[in-house]
Amino acid sequence: MRTAIVILASLLLHAGFVVAGLFYFPHAVNQFTTSQIVPLEFIDDIAPMTNLPEEEEEEEFVEEEAPAPVPEEEAEPETPPEPEIDLQAAPETEPEPEVEDTPVEVAAETPEPEVTRQPETTPQPARTQNRDTLDDLLGDLANVVDEERSSSPSRNQNRGAQSSEAIGVTLADSIRSQAQRCYRSSIDAPDPERLIVVVRVRLNRDGSLDGQPDILNRQAIDASGDRYWRVARDRARAAIADCAPYRLPAEHYSIWRRIDVTFRQET
Amino acid sequence: MTQIFRRLLVLLFIAAPVSAFAQEPLQVDITRGNLDPLPIAIPAFIDDGSDNARGADIASVVAADLESSGLFATVDESAFIEEIRDFNLRPRFQDWRLINADALLIGQVTRQADGRLLVGFRLWDTRLQEQLIGLQFVTAPENWRRVAHRVADAVYEQLTGETGYFDTRIVYVSESIGPRGEPMRRLAYMDQDGANPSFLTDRSYWALLPNYSPSAQQITYVSFLDGQATTYVYDLESGRQEALFASGGTGLARIDPDGQSLSARFSPDGEQLAVSIELQAGHDIHLFDLRSRSLRRLTQHPADDVEPSFSPDGERIVFSSSRGGGSQLYVIDADGGGDPQRISFGEGRYTAPVWSPRGDLIAFVKQSGGQFSLGVLDADGSGEERILFRGYYVDTPAWSPNGRVILFTRGERGREGTEYEIWSIDLAGFNLRRAPITGQSSDPAWSPLIE
């Protein structure tokens, strides 16, 4: 019984120290928070602190008389850098919880689910509407293109019922024309032909993204250590995300539910 | 038999629509995209609001760096919706998507207890809603411009795949008219963006054709200090300079060339200089070992071999020579083995070859049809040459350390003869820009990245 009380007292005391420590060493709290949140938030906080050498210069840029025959520019004493290595970046505080919901909400029916996930900040319905109309406009444009394509005589008259292959080609054309306007080409990289990125995209019935697209050749890209390839990968992902939702005929959903988009640089 | 065929056909017809629902992912190929500058928003870095806090200054230097590359377009500050107050919070991405900022750079400047600046930044992709990179630097407050350049380099590298080149310097020849109307040519240098200009040589003699050492600590240049063109090695740290070939054999190389030496360039390891010297008849390419101070002849031809430039692996040297009649470009092994291989075959005079830091290309100047052009060709002589710029006068190409941008001397007819300025152009032939230098200038040389 007595030992129990002692243990209890000890526990309380330790807890007290910990609580007191939280108040006295708030920095430690931050550190702790950081190490927990970093992996969750994709925050690459590895921050190499670089010590830039000090420089002194700007001597006599506007000099009037310099009779000395030999250049007299003084040395630039660069104080040796004191390496200061701190791998801990400033902590990530307050991860907005709603961020976690993003993928789910993107999958929802409404094209602008973000409006709902701004509880404390002032929602900006006017702007959101602007964006909607813009999206609609672009979407309508895409629809017009699609309609023109599908109603073109060569497609419809010659084949009463389109073969699934032809439908696939038409759908691929539509997706290509919708996605490539968001795509920054890597054609200006050295040897761009090698920078192939294949993205598996899953779409909801409303054309929005069903989860994050997968990079099918991710391993090859990662293993290569090729910065240009990594950039091409990010540009491909950004293009897919940026141009969503895609306007595609709902009756063929089974065909475009899953898409493999191959980005390549043709010279 | 025919029945079997019919049944097979029927089966095929049934199978065909079924295969359409076999859920194979639809294959889409995208081979074209845009090459538009990437829209990036760079709000003033968060600081404590004091006078020398530098938050806004650093952001504007970063923005100017990125814009100057032609690969980025900064979004106007007046369009910003979200005000970034907390460096550690996720931005409201929809606010930045709305103003078409594909990338968002936020930063923070804090003054440490020791008085130094701690500058941190986070680069966000607003489409992917991901942080692409986050770094921080510590430096003396007066060094804030270099921090800004380092931030710009990191952003550039993350978003283009290329190594940055903003934390660099440019040495050049400042051209002016002296008090008695005589032309003056002095060495000057500045930050890559034109800040912090200063002179290296005085007005009593001409200085031309500077080149950087790989450590960025030394330059070579051609000086008329002795009355004739002589290669000098100038130490930027100490301000000391020494003639490579002084008269009477008193220079670094203990020979008396009894002639001119021109445009020495460092080897990539910094241990040798390639230089053309006139020892007997005509100029020849020589290698000068800076440690053993010995000179080795690399070419031997009655015609002039001039303007040597090392390949980045140090194994080959390109130079221009009139050995085939008009001036053309040749490549020779740096160990002297084998005959020079001609790599330029077009009409006109090819001069001023400079090997790209990437190794695959050689920049050159071509003179044909009363016009000058700046071009690049494949280092192995294959493929077509590519002309990037044509003009009244072009000379002295100099690569950015990442091999993406070329500086060059551009001359235009002015009221009092040709007027010279330094311009830059992207390797793809766009983004032609004048270097931010007051007055006339020529002979640019781009430093390596400063460590």
More confident residue, A212 or A123: A212
Q: In A, which residues are within 8 Å of B152 by CB distance? A: none
Q: In A, which residues are within 8 Å of B81 by CB distance? A: 124, 127
Is A257–B23 a contact, with Cβ atoms under 8 angstroms apart? yes
What angle is formed at CA A165 by the lines to CA A161 and CA A166, rounded to 5 degrees?
A: 55
Confidence of residue A210 (pLDDT cuts 50, 70, 90): very high
Is B241–A70 a contact, with Cβ atoms under 8 angstroms apart? yes
pLDDT of res. A257? 95
Q: What is the mean pLDDT of residues B178-205?
A: 91
pLDDT of res. B248? 60
pLDDT of res. B282? 81
Q: In A, which residues are within 8 Å of B134 by CB distance? A: 43-47, 89
Confidence of residue B324 (pLDDT cuts 50, 70, 90): confident
Q: Quick one: tokens of A245?
A: 């939702």
pLDDT of res. B430? 92
Within an 8 Å CB–CB cutoff, is residue A197 touching chain B?
A: no
CA dist B379 and B331 (Å) reads 8
Model-level pTM greater than 0.95?
no
pLDDT of res. A97? 37
Q: What is the mean pLDDT of residues A184-203?
A: 94
pLDDT of res. B68? 97
Report whether pLDDT(A116) > 70: no
Establish, for the pair of chains A and B, how many residue pairs have beta carbons separated by less than 8 Å.
232
Is B102–A238 a contact, with Cβ atoms under 8 angstroms apart? yes
Confidence of residue A3 (pLDDT cuts 50, 70, 90): confident
Is A176–B28 a contact, with Cβ atoms under 8 angstroms apart? yes
Report whether pLDDT(A91) > 50: no
pLDDT in tens, B53-73: 899 999 999 999 999 999 999
CA dist B119 and B128 (Å) reads 25
- Sequence-distant (≥ 6) Cβ neighbours of residue B283 within 8 angstroms: B260, B262, B276, B277, B304, B305, B306
CA dist B329 and B355 (Å) reads 11
pLDDT of res. B258? 58
CB B444 within 8 A of CB B172: yes
Confidence of residue A31 (pLDDT cuts 50, 70, 90): very low
- How far B139 CA lies from chain A's nearest CA (Å)? 5
Report whether pLDDT(B277) > 60: yes
Report whether pLDDT(A26) > 50: no
Residues A69-98 as b or e (16 or more Cβ within 10 Å = b): eebebeebeeeeeeeeeeeebbbbeebbee
Q: Quick one: tokens of A24?
A: 């006295």
Q: In A, which residues are within 8 Å of B429 by CB distance? A: none
Report whether pLDDT(A36) > 60: no
pLDDT of res. B254? 60
Is B92–A184 a contact, with Cβ atoms under 8 angstroms apart? no
Three-class DSSP category at B425: strand
Partner A, chain B 254-273, Cβ-Cβ below 8 Å: none
Comparing CB atoms, the residue among A44, A66, A69 nearest residue B133 is A44
Comparing CB atoms, the residue among B28, B86, B94 nearest residue A172 is B28
Adjacency order of strands within the sheet including B341-342: B305-310, B316-321, B328-333, B341-342
pLDDT in tens, B358-408: 999 999 999 999 999 999 999 998 889 999 999 999 999 999 999 999 999
Residues B240-252 as b or e (16 or more Cβ within 10 Å = b): ebebbbbeeeebb
Q: How far is CA B413 from the centre of its chain?
A: 27
Q: What is the mean pLDDT of residues B298-304?
A: 90
Best of B24, B88, B153 to substitute, by most chain A Cβ atoms within 10 angstroms, is: B88
- How far A18 CA lies from chain B's nearest CA (Å)? 26
CA dist A167 and A171 (Å) reads 6
Most confident of A164-173, B226-235, B249-258: A164-173
